[in-house]
Amino acid sequence: MRLWHESSRPVALLCVGLLLTAGWVRAASMEIGPADDLESAINQLDPGEELVLQGGTYVETDRLSVTVFGTVVDPITIRAKDGETPVITYINDSQNVMNIENSQYLVLHGVEITGGSAGIRITNSNFITISDCHLHDTGDVAISANTPGSSYQGLQLLRNHIHDTNVTGEGMYLGCNSDACRIFDSLIEGNYIHHTNGPTVVQGDGIEIKEGSYNNIVRDNVIHDTHYPCLLTGSTVGNGAPNLLERNVMWNCGDNGIQAAADAVIRNNIVLSSVGPNIRSHPHQNGVPENLEIVHNTLLNPSGDGIYISSISGSVVIANNAVFSPQGWAIRVSGDLAQLVVTGNVGDGGVSGVTSGFDDSGDVSVDLVLADLSGAPPEDVFPAPGSLLVGNANPLYLVQDDFNGRLRYELADVGAYRYSPSGNPGWTIAAEPKPVPEPSIFEDGFESGDTSAWAP
């Protein structure tokens, strides 16, 4: 048994959406500046055309509504002029800066958005790509796709920098409560989201994916200093495949680090600190903890719990995690434990509800290269030489790659990293965007990242 057979399924279903960023065919290009009519220029675009925005500030005084219809072969593109920074803002917080409505196959790239209410609100639109944009100091949420009755397929939110939101304050609010709308077959990757915890913020999740949403991939994001959980997902309520949360890093989460009601694969993530448990699951709306795989994460909690799952009602796997919670429970579970698997976990802290599957003889100062439970970078949580994490995972629950996107093969190392005696060959955790490993497809059909370090 290998968990990646089951949990890699969402990747294949994104193939149609991923065409948006490859091989764009543009029939025409139009360039405008801040003195021109932005809304009029956008809404006259035809499939394959692009609008190039010159640098400067585009101050909107009326509601900016974007409704365009590209195609999978000829998407419509709105982008910054090379080497310049267009800034779009609204005069006060009574309107969103940009409303993308009833649109399809649109790419928004390299634009700075600030002020207004929401930065970008998407309504009933599919195959929308927002990439390399900078959203900050918004009056409310930065990016939302949460209009009741809407359907959102194939969204791609890539490499955006989001910070200093206000009021509800989420970095990304995707889907609706109680399955009133849903996002699916989408990719949220490589974003840098921080400081959604300002003095006016009353919620402030980093990334929130609501109940009913399904088959989404959330990976390689850096999230820190939030008011609510850094990353939250609800149950799919049977709509489709689980959501995949992988290779993300987070710290100073104002509530739980990762919170998932049900129907999620949570693997290769790193949580350096959170007010609540690093990973938490409990009943929420119509979801109850089941259909969860929590594998190969590295979790540090200076004062609380590592993994806490209550009211379990179905299949839950907790395997091969490195958990250091010396002042709390490393693993804490309750409910119907008939389908619970706990195995191959290593670290420091107590356990509750289980009697095996966790080796508590770990020591954060010995097993990790440079970690002291400070709760924020610099923390190097790569396994140290001689670490208890090396070789002590349960091989039945190995995942295919690690936090760096390096293939694990049969190397049964606990936590988010595959060990290397020469040290961490990948990115050093810092308050900055994480480079996204380049994907490669191997003959077994699985997707992986870096192929330059195949040797153990």
Give the pLDDT band (50/70/90) at residue 438.
confident
Please state, rounded to an integer, the average pLDDT across all residues of the chain. 91
Q: Residues, the chain, total? A: 456
Which has the higher per-residue pLDDT, 8 or 336? Answer: 336
Cα distance between residue 179 and residue 371, in whole Å: 40
Cα distance between residue 102 and residue 411, in whole Å: 48
Backbone angles phi, psi at 292, to 5 degrees: -120, 135
Cα distance between residue 232 and residue 36, in whole Å: 40
CATH architecture for residues 1-246? 3 Solenoid (2.160)
Model confidence over 348-377: pLDDT tens digits?
A: 999 999 999 999 999 999 999 999 999 999
Please name which of 148, 153, 58 lies closest in space to residue 105, comparing C-alpha atoms: 153
Model confidence over 410-431: pLDDT tens digits?
A: 899 999 999 999 999 999 999 9
Q: Is pLDDT above 50 for 4?
A: no
Cα distance between residue 330 and residue 8, in whole Å: 27
CA 374 to chain centre: 23
Cα distance between residue 298 and residue 271, in whole Å: 7
Q: Is pLDDT above 60 for 248?
A: yes
Q: What does the longest C-alpha to C-alpha distance in the chain come to? A: 68
Give the pLDDT band (50/70/90) at residue 439.
low
Q: What was the pLDDT predicted at 27?
A: 57
16 three-class SS: helix
Determine what percent of the chain is predicted with pLDDT higher than 90. 89
Residue type, position 188, single letter = I
Q: Is pLDDT above 70 for 103?
A: yes
pTM for the whole thing? 0.92
Cβ atoms 325, 349 nearer than 8 A: yes
Q: Are strands 134-136 and 161-163 parallel, antiparallel or unpaired?
A: parallel
Give the pLDDT band (50/70/90) at residue 2.
very low
Q: What was the pLDDT predicted at 25?
A: 43
Give the pLDDT band (50/70/90) at residue 437.
confident
Average pLDDT over residues 172-200: 98
Q: Is 36 left (phi over 0), alpha (psi -120 to 50) or beta?
A: beta
Cα distance between residue 221 and residue 112, in whole Å: 19
Cβ atoms 429, 381 nearer than 8 A: yes
Model confidence over 9-39: pLDDT tens digits?
A: 443 334 344 444 433 344 599 999 999 999 9
Cβ atoms 308, 335 nearer than 8 A: no
Q: Is pLDDT above 50 for 55?
A: yes
Determine what percent of the chain is predicted with pLDDT higher than 70. 90
> Domain residues of the chain, as ranges?
1-246, 272-456
The verdict on whether omega for the bond into residue 378 sits within 30 degrees of 0, i.e. cis, is yes
Average pLDDT over residues 111-136: 98
Q: What was the pLDDT predicted at 208?
A: 98
Out of 10-14, 154-158, 255-259, pick the least confident.
10-14
Cα distance between residue 419 and residue 264, in whole Å: 26
Using only C-alpha atoms, the chain has a radius of gyration, in whole angstroms, of 22
Q: Is pLDDT above 60 for 79?
A: yes
Residues 6+ apart with CB under 8 A from 429: 249, 270, 272, 377, 378, 379, 380, 381
DSSP bridge partners of 318:
294, 342
- Would you state the structure tokens that stand for residue 49, as one six-digit string? 């055309």
Q: Is pLDDT above 80 for 440?
A: no
Q: Is pLDDT above 60 for 56?
A: yes
